[in-house]
Amino acid sequence: MYSTSRELKHTAKTRIRERLFPMMAIAAIFILADYLIGYFSSELSGYNDWMREINRLISTYAGEIQAAVNDPTELQAILLRIYAAMPTFPDFISGRSLVGPLLSVLVSLMSYPLAAGYAHHILVESRRQNTNAGFLMHGFKVTFKAVAIGVLTGLLTGLGLVLFVIPGFILSLRYSQAVFILMDDPDKGPIQCMRESGRLMRGRKWDLFKLYFSFLLWLIVSNLVTALIGAPVLNIYLTPYINLAAAFFYNELVHHEDPGPEPIEM
């Protein structure tokens, strides 16, 4: 008998209460590391420079926009001038060395082993074993496999989305367990992990969708808070919460026995 979304979330919250500060600290390190990977990738590709140029262009029209705020026709004309003056990203970086964009791709790929390391940490925590921030590095022991799973899953899901949105979404659920499988047994290859994920998810895709969908309100509130204060503070709790629930879902798929909470010593 499989657990419901509510039961999985309750189990996840119970484990977080047992290890609240260590898990939130590791989540903060993971979020920061992932942000830095994205930031340096954007810097190397020229994307950040492009956005700065667009912001500079918009700021030069700030006075005109403010003066025309009550004149829709004039405001539309100003916005059209801004749009016409905006360089496209390919035009902006044309003529630059290819070294930066190539390095940008390599840096961005590091997010996959980092995510695999976080999955390993979460998986171990879901099995009532304590971890530390060093577990985040475990994904780099299988860097090629983690990157291969991430890229192949992304390509297949993207292709499915281009062809029709539902097949793409179904593919993302089908291969959702591949990283857990890899970190559970690092000797397995990426294709093997994806195939096993597909086998495990037969008849369970809807259950996983319901689990993730149950966090929708959390995600909306988290994004609003991030937009208001400029920092993803709620994610420090929400990241382990969602991932732990997903790990307990995986444990049930592979029939891993949950030893339950540690007994309280009197």
Our count of domains for the chain comes to: 2
CB hemisphere CA count around 120 (13 angstroms): 24
User: In this model, does residue 261 exceed pLDDT 70?
Assistant: no
pLDDT band, residue 169 (cuts 50/70/90): confident
- Is 159 inside any structural domain? yes
- Is 262 inside any structural domain? no
Instruction: Judge whether 125 and 131 are in contact, CB under 8 Å.
Output: yes
Q: Which pLDDT does position 86 carry in this prediction? A: 85
pLDDT band, residue 199 (cuts 50/70/90): very high
Instruction: Judge whether 168 and 160 are in contact, CB under 8 Å.
Output: yes
Identify whether residues 15 and 69 lie together within a single domain: no
Identify whether residues 202 and 176 lie together within a single domain: yes
Q: What is the CA 192 to chain-centroid distance, rounded?
A: 23
Q: Which pLDDT does position 159 carry in this prediction? A: 86
Instruction: Judge whether 41 and 108 are in contact, CB under 8 Å.
Output: yes
95, 128, 159: which is the final residue of a domain?
95
* Range of the structural domain that residue 77 is part of: 47-95
61, 77, 95: which is the final residue of a domain?
95
The DSSP string of 161-186 is HHH-HHHHHHHHHHTTTHHHHHHH-T
Closest by CA to 133, choosing from 30, 248, 243, 15, is: 30
Burial string for 205-221 (b: 16+ CB within 10 Å, else e) reads bebbbebbebbeeeeee
- Is 15 inside any structural domain? yes
Q: Enter the DSSP assignment of 98.
A: S
Q: What is the CA 212 to chain-centroid distance, rounded?
A: 13
What is the maximal distance between C-alpha atoms in the chain? 75
- Is 261 inside any structural domain? no
% of residues, the chain, pLDDT over 70:
95
Give the global pTM. 0.86
Identify whether residues 226 and 117 lie together within a single domain: yes
| Separation CA 174–CA 104 (nearest Å) | 29
User: In this model, does residue 263 exceed pLDDT 80?
Assistant: no
Identify whether residues 35 and 70 lie together within a single domain: no
72, 95, 118: which is the final residue of a domain?
95
Segment 148-171 mean pLDDT: 86
Identify whether residues 172 and 82 lie together within a single domain: no
- Is 211 inside any structural domain? yes
Identify whether residues 86 and 52 lie together within a single domain: yes
Instruction: Judge whether 194 and 178 are in contact, CB under 8 Å.
Output: yes
Is residue 156 packed enough to be buried (19+ CB in 10 Å), middle (13-18) or exposed (0-12)? middle
pLDDT digits (tens, 9 = 90+) for 15-69: 999 999 999 999 999 999 999 999 999 999 888 888 888 888 888 888 888 888 7
Identify whether residues 171 and 57 lie together within a single domain: no
How many CB atoms are located within 10 Å of the residue 237 CB?
17
Identify whether residues 13 and 85 lie together within a single domain: no
- Is 266 inside any structural domain? no
Q: Please identify which residue in the block is written with the tokens 């297949």.
A: 156
Closest by CA to 64, choosing from 85, 51, 81, is: 81
Identify whether residues 124 and 61 lie together within a single domain: no
pLDDT digits (tens, 9 = 90+) for 202-258: 999 999 999 999 999 999 999 999 888 878 889 999 999 999 999 999 999 998 876
Identify whether residues 121 and 183 lie together within a single domain: yes
Q: Please identify which residue in the block is written with the tokens 């190397």.
A: 44
Identify whether residues 30 and 87 lie together within a single domain: no
- Is 259 inside any structural domain? no
Cα dihedral: 121, 126, 127, 129 (round 10) = 50
Identify whether residues 58 and 180 lie together within a single domain: no
